[in-house]
Amino acid sequence: MSALPPSDHEDFARSIRDSGFRFVAGADMRAHLLQHGSLDDWDAFAASWNDLAPDAYLAQVGRHRRRRHAVFHAGRDGTIERQPHQPHYQALSYNALQGDIERWFEPLRQDIADGASLGTVLGFCRDFFSTLAPRTAAWRIELHQFRIEAGPDREGQPTPEGVHRDGVDYVLVLLIDRHNIVSGTTTIHDRDGTELGSFTLTAPLDAALVDDGRVFHGVTAVTPQDPSREAHRDVLVVTFRAQA
């Protein structure tokens, strides 16, 4: 296992412990990721967002989102292993729009699951989140590829459920691509609704690290910069939840 340099580790950890979140610029995030592996197949990894399936659940309420999903298991110092395909489930208390239902999404492609870039991202998350939870022996990891689409007659809604928690321990939101969109600002909130911070993921590998047990998060709607052209926002969301 490759560890973060102590100074960088402490800088990240201090932010999470003090405020419950941390924005990381893409160049800095790349440097951290490369300590955990390779990004040599990044172009193919990013291109896989062109092969996502429609989110049939949101289509029922007129939202436009594409996604794929996978579940992994990892010991704090061990191998990260993909689990059999299974539904994504959130309690209604965490997702007022689509809680208390099992949502079956198309699975993450196996070539992407086996690729260097995803292994590097998951390795970083495992090592960093494990340092924040020294008593956690193993993790349940859920991975979501999202494409939010916007058009001339509709906004794209990255978080249609509004400001929320995911019901896990830690979250990484990693920007893959923004194409012809404006806005999409991430806001972080305390339990009483007070806004603690905001930032916009604009460059590939810009990231948000979130302590989901402490803070709420949301993302404002995106609209096309040029309404005559296709517009989307691609992100990778990785959640970690302690597992007995």
Residue 64 located in a structural domain: yes
Instruction: Give the number of other CB atoms < 10 A from CB of residue 106.
Output: 17
Kindly report the length of the chain: 244
Q: What is the pLDDT of residue 4?
A: 46
Q: At what angle do helices 6-19 and 116-132 cross, to 10 degrees?
A: 60
* Number of domains within the chain: 1
Residue-level pLDDT at 57: 63
What count of other Cβ atoms lies within 10 Å of the Cβ of residue 183? 16
Q: How many other CB atoms sit within 10 Å of the CB of residue 5? A: 11
Question: How far is it, in rounded angstroms, from Cα 232 to Cα 156?
Answer: 8
User: Is 1 among the domain residues?
Assistant: no
Residue type for position 34 = L
User: Tokens 């990260």 — which residue?
Assistant: 80
| Predicted pLDDT of residue 99 | 46
Residue 127 domain-assigned (yes or no): yes
Q: List the chain pLDDT tens, one digit each, 244 residues.
A: 444 444 466 788 888 999 999 999 999 999 999 999 999 999 999 999 999 988 776 654 445 789 999 999 999 888 999 999 998 665 555 554 554 476 788 999 999 999 999 999 999 999 999 989 999 999 999 999 999 999 988 888 877 778 888 889 999 999 999 999 999 999 999 999 999 999 999 999 999 999 999 999 999 999 999 999 999 999 999 999 999 6
180: Cα within 13 Å, side-chain hemisphere: 13
Provide the residue range defining the domain that includes 18. Answer: 6-243
Instruction: Please state, in angstroms and rounded to a whole number, the distance separating the CA atoms of residues 66 and 51.
Output: 9
Phi, psi of 200, rounded to the nearest 5 degrees:
-120, 125
pLDDT at 43: 98
In sequence order, what DSSP letters do the residues of 134-150 get, joined into one string?
Answer: TT--EEEEEEEEEEEEE
CB 36 within 8 A of CB 128: no
pLDDT of residue 101: 74
Domain with 219 in it: what CATH number? Answer: 2.60.120.620
- Select from 175, 172, 71 the least CA-distant residue to 113: 71
Domain for residue 228, yes or no?
A: yes
Q: Is 204 exposed, middle or buried (0-12, 13-18, 19+ CB in 10 A)?
A: middle
Name the pTM for this structure: 0.90
CA distance linking residue 42 with residue 61, whole number of Å: 33
Amino acid at 193: G
